[in-house]
Chains A and B, each alone.
Chain A
Amino acid sequence: MNELIPLMVIVPMMAALLLSAFSKFNKVIKCLALVVGICLPIIPLASNYGLHFFGGYQPIMDNVTNVIYHPAITYSFDFMQQIFIAMIGLLTFLVIFIYLTKYKKASGSYLFLLFMGTAAVTALILTDDIFHMFVFFEILALAQVGIVAASSIDYSYEMALKYMILGAIGSPMMLLGIGFLLAMTGTVNVTDIVSIIRGGLLDVTSPVFLLSLGLIFFGWLYASGLPPFHTIKSGIYSKAEPHGAALLQSFTVISMISIVLIMFRIYSTLPIFEVLVVFFSVVAMILGVSMALTQTDFRRMIGFLAVGELGFIGLGIGLGTQYALTAGLFQALNEIVITALLFIGFGAIVHATNEVDTRKLGGLLAYHPKVGIMLLAGGLAMAGVPPLSGFQSKLMLVQASLSCGYPELSILAIMVSIATFVVFVKTFYSMFLSPKPHDLEVVDNEVPKAMVFAMAVLLIVIIALGIFPDVVTSGISNYVGGLLP
């Protein structure tokens, strides 16, 4: 059943091309998008774990050194990939469902961007080839720009253009770093590069090797929206349609963990790699949450909170132990679900009020109690309140940093969680509990049912992961054990 592994990328990519080609036939593209959306979470769940070698080029054994080389572009599919691809598939389905029910006339080009983005992140998390990773990183960046530019929100073009211009710095730097790595090792296969490094065939203190780390690391900062790219990342979330923003943030999280895991495998022999990851994660946590505290536009506020939460993921990866890496990846999974719920929920409020300023809102609990309660649960999950999923992953991260001998990081993580809680309580009070302003008109009393359905599905996942974290963490822990030297 390993034939299903490449299909995880090919199916959304083919769907994207077909939707774009047949965009004039509204009913056809709506049906196709829905069917493919349903298939996306099913394919990874039906597939067996294993490797896929494109072109059928099997690994070659060097009889002299007993080292195995991989001439093909290789996809590696394990529990970690399965759970993340299934989750991104579920989220893509929900976003497509919301989009198709919202607009009578579907845009083939917009659906193309959504599916192409999904195909790109799926390839990113599957690939064992660093150049292949770069190609899909570029495709993903362009899809993200397109999703933002296609939204009907004011200044979305401007923000998309700024993101693309900054990408023009981040992407070439990453490519240059990959080029240095290729020049030193003669291969772009990550497993082969790791074998060369562990076999002592490469001087890891060489300036060129260190420079390649710096350049790829900078590209990773751009992909993941860690400082100095946190402002633009939160900006593009706030200028995209709410369902688009829900998908964009999941793209960011997946690209963040895919690239950092490849970097971890190659550069974990250098202690400075972990120092850098922890440093930028701490800065992201501090800047993200402090900026969120001062926002009055709730879409921007969630954007900054999402950036701050990325810091937690980086913290887990940077600490570098099996438990910390598991906690970081579990946090990544939780963030995908929780932030998607918040973006969709706040999108429902924008739909009902046409207002994004928390100071001009109030009394919405009486109009939209279901949305309010589900948003409250999502916000509490993000702040790390038990028994929701965010609590489990943040507790693991606090324990991991304590056991690594960094109590300062534990204190910081707790402080950031408390500040996140403050942000959310402040916003929830302003929007739902404070008296309704006289001039506020609730335009549409009915929140789209598709949005409520999507929020309910995501909330079930949050509660399930909070009560039964072992379902995911044990599998991730086994996967992480295989990555460590």
Chain B
Amino acid sequence: MRLYDQIFNVVKKFKELFSPGPVTNADVSGSITAEIFIIVSIVIASLLLRHISILLAGLVTLILAIVLITNIPLIPKFKLEQEDSLEKMLFYAVLVLGLIVIFLYWGGNIV
């Protein structure tokens, strides 16, 4: 029950900040599902790197798994970064534009 309690407390704090109202079982189970879903899906997605290098895929998967699990709960962090703040939206838009252009301009003909 440690994980459940930990998530419950986080969800409770989170609700107080952003969405006042009672914390229900469904909220906590939804957050736990999201937590597990994010970790597993990112780890599985990182396995795709095996098409570039098996060693790289192994290393990245291992590092990601450790980093993600040791940083539980992740959902509040993800949610904070994806709120309706224009500053954050603009920041990520410009960041992604920069990354795409850099990646394509200097590395696009390699892949």
Of all chain A residues, which has the CB nearest B82?
Answer: A231
Interface residues of A in 2-45 (CB under 8 A from B): none
CB distance from A179 to the nearest CB of B (A): 15
Q: In the complex, which residues of chain B have a beta carbon less than 8 angstroms from the beta carbon of A293? A: 30-31, 33-34, 37
Q: Is B47 an interface residue (CB 8 A)?
A: yes
Closest approach, in angstroms, between the C-beta of A191 and any C-beta of chain B? 24
Stretch in contact with the other chain, from A181-189, A378-386, A411-419: A411-419
Report if A211 contacts B (CB, 8 A).
yes
List, in ascending order, chain B residues with CB within 8 A of A166's CB.
Answer: 89-90, 93
Listed residue (B38, B96, B97, B108) with the most chain A CB atoms within 10 angstroms of its CB: B108
Q: Which of A118-126, A133-141, A282-290, A363-371 contacts B (4 or more CB under 8 A)?
A: A282-290
Query: Chain A contact residues: over half helix, strand or loop, or mixed?
Result: helix
Binding site secondary structure of chain B: helix
**Cβ-defined partner of B33 (8 Å) among A217, A286, A419:** A419
Interface size class of B (residues with CB under 8 A): 35 or more
Asked if A481 is an interface residue, CB under 8 A from chain B, the answer is no
Q: Report yes or no: B108 in contact with A270, Cβ–Cβ below 8 A.
A: yes
- 8 Å CB contact of A412 from B21, B41, B93, B104: B41
Q: Is the CB of B45 within 8 A of A408?
A: yes
Residues 58-92 of B, flagged 1 when their CB comes within 8 A of A and 0 if not, give: 00000000000000000100110011101011101
- A429's partner among B22, B26, B45, B86 (CB-CB below 8 A) is B26
Q: Does A148 contact B (CB under 8 A)?
A: no
Assess the A286–B38 pair: CB atoms within 8 A.
yes
**A242 lies within 8 A of chain B by Cβ:** no
A110 interface residue (CB < 8 Å to B): no
List B contacts of A289 (CB < 8 A).
37
Report yes or no: B84 in contact with A271, Cβ–Cβ below 8 A.
no
Identify the closest chain A residue to B84 (Cβ). A235
Closest 10 CB pairs of A and B: A205-B109, A228-B92, A293-B34, A210-B108, A214-B104, A272-B111, A290-B34, A210-B104, A214-B101, A293-B30
